[in-house]
Amino acid sequence: MTKFDHKVNLPLIFSENNLAILPITRGDYIISSFSAYCELEEPSLDIQRVSIPLYLQSLMPQYLVSETIAINCASATGILTDFLEDDDLVPTVSGRMGSGEFDYCINTTAGPLHIEVSNSQIEIDAAYEGIRNLSILEAKRDLSDDFLVRQLYYPYRVWSNRVTKPIKPVFFIFSNGVFYLYQYQFDDPKDYNSLHLVKQKNYMIETDITLTDLEQLLDSLAIVHESDIPFPQANSMSRVVNLMELLRERPLFRDEITSRYAFDSRQTNYYTDAGRYLGMIEKHRVNGAICFGLSECGQQIMALPYRERQLGIISQIMKHKVFRETLQRHLQCGEMPDVNTIMQIMKQSELFHVEADSTYFRRASTIIGWVNWILSIIESS
């Protein structure tokens, strides 16, 4: 009943009246005017490279298919030690943490939501205790714009009553070899809405892909003719790849994608069309409903080892003239071409159904985003 993981998932009557809902016992809920969700800050552009120890054959990037395995990988690569700034970290708890209920009091004049917490039927993906702190982790594999604060707040309150060490609530996202970590703090432990971001860092598993690899790829690829699939309006290539990771597990209906990513229906179309443009996603109808899955090409590429998979995705992008020429000019000049230059490349590339300058201008941001994504993968040394 209350599984609304993102603000956009709330029923219309809730969003229209600035309402949210939280469970307080197994069968009881509170509905009031408070902010149940936290918008995620845009990730930093800085990415720290990490390596998986060679002896850990079961932690290859292409096999990190669950939140638990991704957290284990973050521990093995030193990500958690670096981000949590603590020594001798030990995994101490995951899953359910007891049973009971939440006592609450609420200021109905749109003030802070105060909750008193006793032992409760709640879950946490992981907790790591070090010498100085206890850190609780909520992990996700989908790149969304917000999250439900309850996922951090309830376990934070439970453990605040059990230990004397400071508690670090951490929101942890993993996709395509990249870890996005957000550390929060609740300024008032009894105020659900008192959290603020303390720090944010990104880590990437090394790809061993060099500039020479990219140049060789550019020399070997043939340009394809533009299809009648709309030219992408999806600036985040990371999110396109994340969607393909999820579709590798099973096809998803349009509404499932909209809900999982906290999209509106237009954004769902943009990102599924982006995958279709690359030839890696297919659209079907199942019992009258629109469903998306990986194409044969998408299945082959997403099943490759990590390094080869990245090169395969880059190849699908670079087969299109507009992305190829923009990247080549960036490599030649050492910086991204300006928007006017990119628009001229677009106009020479016979893009389907892109005519007005305003449309060229908007689509140019997709080209910049995807080229920057490619360059972020390349090892600097």
Statement to judge: residues 201 and 306 lie in one domain = no
- Per-residue pLDDT band at 26 (split at 50, 70, 90): low
- The domain in which residue 227 lies consists of 211-377
Residue 2 has a pLDDT of: 56
- Tell whether 63 and 195 lie within a shared domain: yes
Proportion of the chain above pLDDT 70, given as a percent: 91
Over residues 221-242, the mean pLDDT reads: 92
Average pLDDT of the residues in 127-142? 93
In the prediction, which pLDDT does 92 show? Answer: 86
Q: What is the pLDDT of residue 290?
A: 94
pLDDT at 10: 81
- Would residue 58 count as lying in a domain? yes
* Residue 131 falls inside a structural domain: yes
Same domain, 174 and 250: no
Residue 108 is predicted with a pLDDT of 38
Mean pLDDT is lowest, of 96-105, 215-224, 250-259, 353-362, for 96-105
Q: Residues 114-135, buried b or exposed e (16+ Cβ, 10 A)?
A: bbebeebebebbbbbbbeebbb
217 shares a domain with 201: no
Per-residue pLDDT at 118: 52
Give me the mean pLDDT over the 16-41 stretch: 81
Judgement on whether residues 71 and 31 belong to the same structural domain of the protein = yes
Average pLDDT over all residues of the chain: 87
- The pLDDT of residue 277 is above 70: yes
Give the domain-ending residue among 174, 205, 236. Answer: 205
Q: Same structural domain for residues 90 and 46?
A: yes
Q: Over 90: is that where the pLDDT of 260 sits?
A: no
Q: Is 52 in the same domain as 107?
A: yes
User: Mean per-residue pLDDT for 147-159?
Assistant: 91
Task: Find the range with the poorest average confidence among 26-35, 174-183, 245-254.
Answer: 26-35
Q: Which of 56-60, 121-125, 303-307 has the highest mean pLDDT?
A: 303-307
Give the per-residue pLDDT at 223: 92
* Beta carbons within 10 angstroms of residue 42's beta carbon: 8
Question: Whole-angstrom Cα distance, residue 154 to residue 198?
Answer: 19
Q: Is residue 1 part of a domain?
A: no
Q: What is the mean pLDDT of residues 333-346?
A: 94
Q: Which residue has the higher pLDDT, 130 or 25?
A: 130
If you average pLDDT over residues 96-106, what whole number do you get? Answer: 44
pLDDT value at 261 more than 90: no
pLDDT of residue 101: 43
On whether both 228 and 120 belong to a single domain, the answer is: no
- The span from the CA of 132 to the CA of 165, in Å, is 7
Q: Looking at residue 99, what is its pLDDT?
A: 44
What is the pLDDT at residue 137?
96
Task: Answer whether residue 345 shows pLDDT above 50.
Answer: yes
| Structural domain count, the chain | 2
Residue 361 pLDDT more than 70?
yes
Which domain-ending residue is among 143, 172, 205? 205
3-state secondary structure the chain: CCCCCCHHHCCHHHHHCCCEEEECCCCCEEEECCCCEEECCCCCCCCEEECCCCCCHHHCHHHCCCHHHHHHHHHHCCHHHHHHCCCCCEEEEEEECCCCCEEEEECCCCCCEEEEECCCCCEEEEEEECCCCEEEEEEECCCCCEEECHHHHHHHHHHHCCCCCCEEEEEEEEECCEEEEEEEEECCCCECCCEEEEEEEEEEECCCCCHHHHHHHHHHCCCCCCCCCCCCCCCCHHHHHHHHHHHHHCCEEHHHHHHHCCCCHHHHHHHHHHHHHCCCEEEEEECCEEEEEECHHHHHHHCCCHHHHHHHHHHHHHCCHHHHHHHHHHHHHCCCCCHHHHHHHHHCCCCCCCCCHHHHHHHHHHHHHHHHHHHHHCCCC
Q: Computed from CA positions of residues 127, 37, 33, 266, in that sequence, does the dihedral angle turn out positive or negative?
A: negative
What whole-number distance in Å separates Cα of residue 303 and Cα of residue 298? 8
pLDDT value at residue 380: 67
Tell me which of 168, 190, 205 is where a domain ends: 205
The reply to whether 349 and 288 lie within a common domain is: yes
Same domain flag for 198 and 328: no
14 inside domain: yes
Residue 2 domain-assigned? no
* pLDDT, tens digit, 9 for 90 and up, residues 87-96: 889 988 765 5
Give a yes or no: residue 290 inside a domain. yes
Decide if 182 is inside a domain: yes
Asked, for residue 99, whether it belongs to a domain, the answer is: yes
- Whether residues 170 and 246 share a domain: the answer is no
Whether residues 298 and 152 fall in one domain: no
